[in-house]
Amino acid sequence: MTARTIRIGVIGCGFYAQNHLNAWRDLAADGAVLAAVCDLDPAKARSAGEMFGVSWHTDVQTMLDAGPLDAVDIVTRQDTHRAIAEAAIARGVSTIVQKPFAPTWEDATAIVEAADKAGVWLAVHENFRYQAPLRAVRKAIDSGAIGEPNWARIAFRTGFDVYRTQPYFYDEERFVIADVGVHVLDVARFLLGDVARISCETQRRNPRVKGEDTATMMLRHESGAVSLVECTYESRRADDPFPETMLEIEGGRGSIVVSRGCRMKLTSEGEASETDIGTPLLPWTSHPWHVSQEGALGACRHFLDCLQRGVPAETRGADNLKTYALVDAAYRAAAEHRSVAPESWR
Ligand code: 89Y
């Protein structure tokens, strides 16, 4: 049986949106139809429209009017997410929102409530957990090879010049936790389950940025497992792993260690094996971004499959609120020098 066709409009044609556009095009054989693009900047909208051979718009309502669209994929800055998502939801169009979901908890919950009320499918493009290496780690845990995970260290440490392509980072009041910590915290939930409490120390090691550029967090998971979750843009090392996530996970029967270059060392009952859990370059991906780009494709593939089957996504709005609450709790924990149960302080 041929899979149902899903017509998608991508809103936002900036730096990272290029990965979404390429991903949807790659998924054409699976039923994705990139139908339209939109950006406030006519040059960006036009360039994406021409490159992908679809109609382009500079206004969201005009794009929605032109329809018909089954889904929109919102890849704009987070302060615009709520208005755009609400416009799509009001028309019954399935909605994907790039991370961070929204600037505030109120905005994020308002989007989830609007979708619930309207019965509209909603997902957050929280893509790290869809990266091939992290799926391979999940699979290894599910195989039972290490037993129940009870300790982990999950680290995103880099000195890569992220400011060149994302210059707005200099002015973010809530910086590294909101930008990339959100991914690593979501990976902690993905691999070890939901979190009972979190503590956090932040640092501003680069005087040119406004917000924190380093966070060291400690999580107690509901399962009893403990994890250290780290993120920084100030790690100066040869062999910088950007944008890979380094991992160590221990369980009763063994351990998993993921090191630079997508190498996974699995120890089970004293026997060790090493595997390459990376994927080959695609025509539109390049190093060092490949792992992240391939993760965006993995996310879009999952969303397409869920839309076709009419089932919620793993990173559906309501689920992503738990990751969002963890980010808020980390900031709260750092400010108050104590551990915080996500959402308990609201
Ligand atoms: O903004 C960040 C993200 O979400 O993934 C990588 C990134 O672009 C820079 O660290």
Q: Give the position, in ligand 1's atom list, of the atom nearest the Cα of 183.
A: 4
Class of domain 6-120: alpha beta
For residue 246, what pLDDT is reported? Answer: 98
Distance CA 264, CA 324 (A): 29
User: Where are the domain boundaries for CATH 3.30.360.10 in the chain?
Assistant: 129-284+323-336
Fold of 129-284+323-336: Dihydrodipicolinate Reductase; domain 2 (3.30.360)
For a mutational test of ligand 1's pocket, the pick from 75, 157, 166, i.e. the residue with the most ligand atoms closer than 8 A to its C-beta, is 166
DSSP string, 120-145: --EEEE--GGGSHHHHHHHHHHHTTT
CA proximity to 319, closest of 332, 306, 333: 306
Instruction: Going from the first residue of the chain to its last (346 residues), give the mean pLDDT of each consecutive group of 10, the final group possibly shorter.
Output: 88 97 98 98 98 98 96 96 98 97 96 98 98 98 98 98 95 96 98 98 98 98 98 97 98 98 98 98 97 98 98 97 97 98 75
Q: Give the position, in ligand 1's atom list, of the atom nearest the Cα of 243.
A: 6
How far away, in angstroms, is 148 Cα from ligand 1 center?
30
C-alpha dist (Å) from residue 229 to 85, 132, 149? 30, 20, 15
Q: Is the CB of 162 under 6 A from ligand 1?
A: yes
Q: Is the CB of 243 under 6 A from ligand 1?
A: yes
Distance CA 64, CA 7 (A): 12
For residue 86, what pLDDT is reported? Answer: 98
User: Where are the domain boundaries for CATH 3.40.50.720 in the chain?
Assistant: 6-120
For residue 70, what pLDDT is reported? Answer: 98
DSSP letter assigned to residue 22: H
For residue 345, what pLDDT is reported? Answer: 54
Q: Give the position, in ligand 1's atom list, of the atom nearest the Cα of 99.
A: 4
- The bridge status of strand 226-232 relative to strand 246-251 is unpaired
How far away, in angstroms, is 179 Cα from ligand 1 center?
7
Q: Give the position, in ligand 1's atom list, of the atom nearest the Cα of 169.
A: 1
How far away, in angstroms, is 174 Cα from ligand 1 center?
14
CA 264 to chain centroid, in Å, comes to 21
Q: Is the CB of 179 under 6 A from ligand 1?
A: yes
Q: Give the position, in ligand 1's atom list, of the atom nearest the Cα of 233.
A: 10
C-alpha dist (Å) from residue 159 to 42, 231, 237, 239? 33, 11, 7, 10
For residue 67, what pLDDT is reported? Answer: 85
For residue 64, what pLDDT is reported? Answer: 98
